Amino acid sequence: MLNRVLTALVLAPLALAVIWLMPTAGVAVLFGIVVMLGGAEWARLIGLVSTRSQLFFLIGLLLVLAFGWIFYRSALSNVPIVALAAAGWLLILYWLRRYSQLGGTPPPPPLVGALIGYLVLGLAWFSLVVLHGLEDGAYLVTLLLLVVWGADTGAYVAGRSLGRHKLAPVISPGKTREGAVGGLLLALLAGGLLHLALNPGEPSLPVLLPLLAVTVLFSIVGDLFESMIKRQHGAKDSGTLLPGHGGVLDRIDSLTAAAPIFVMGLLWWRMTP
């Protein structure tokens, strides 16, 4: 637990400094590094055992990010890509449901797993870049991270102290419904307080809080998805890079789902008269 807290105290301020002080290009590089580290763990997790196959996967992921940056900088609308990312998580939600109903399913072949990794990691990165590029982008990225961190912390505390009813026992026996509710409440409290403290104006709290609630629910989906992949491959953690936290994927799994949902909600709200 102490290692977990110390790691967060070191990494969180560094990330926030980049988010607030750097242009979107710098933030894209930071998030790109994190995604590449997560990609290295994903490659090992899905069964790419040789160094050569892992290197090919990472080169492919880097090309996905490069293409995403070119698309972001073009005159084309970012909405279809973010919408695709959000819709993808609805499919993953269905996959999780089927996995639970059947009591488990075999893992996809490594090639399919690699394609899924490109979509999950690449589209999450693209969504975060789009978010930072919006008006008040630094605030919005900070809000998203705070909400995801709050949900994770609230779920951990509430689950350990009050957890009685399993949330998804086939996928992740340690997660409870009480933990999910605790995470949701702490995330909404943290997000609401940050919004009031920084007073960005729009969107108003009555609009923002429902969006944050949906974002938190999908952050749980992202967490469960990685848990399912690890269970399919018999892994406990995605890696050991972050003391007390496991691997990079273990820290960004919730964000991979939360980011597209949050960004799509914001874009839809801004397009609505």
Domains: count for the chain:
1
At residue 6, the pLDDT reads: 47
Q: What is the mean pLDDT of the chain?
A: 91
The answer on pLDDT for 73 being more than 70 is yes
At residue 1, the pLDDT reads: 43
At residue 241, the pLDDT reads: 54
Confidence of residue 2 (pLDDT cuts 50, 70, 90): very low
Q: Rounded to whole angstroms, how far apart are CA atoms 189 and 90?
A: 26
What are φ and ψ of residue 242, in 5° steps? -105, 110
The answer on pLDDT for 8 being more than 90 is no
The answer on pLDDT for 15 being more than 90 is no
pLDDT digits (tens, 9 = 90+) for 212-265: 999 999 999 999 999 999 999 888 766 555 544 468 898 899 999 999 999 999
The answer on pLDDT for 54 being more than 60 is yes
pLDDT digits (tens, 9 = 90+) for 115-154: 999 999 999 999 999 999 998 999 999 999 999 999 999 9
Ranking 31-45, 99-113, 117-131, 194-208 by mean pLDDT, the lowest is 194-208
Q: What percent of the chain has pLDDT over 90?
A: 78
Contact of 148 with 254, CB cutoff 8 Å:
yes
Q: Rounded to whole angstroms, how far apart are CA atoms 98 and 78?
A: 31
pTM attached to this predicted model:
0.93
Domain that includes residue 56, residue range: 2-271
What are φ and ψ of residue 117, in 5° steps? -60, -40
Confidence of residue 9 (pLDDT cuts 50, 70, 90): low
Interstrand relation of 166-168 and 172-176 (parallel, antiparallel or unpaired)? antiparallel
Q: 47 in the Ramachandran plot: left (φ > 0), alpha (ψ -120 to 50) or beta? A: left
116 token code pair: 């899924």
Cis amide prior to 210 (ω within 30 degrees): no
At residue 3, the pLDDT reads: 43
The answer on pLDDT for 82 being more than 90 is yes
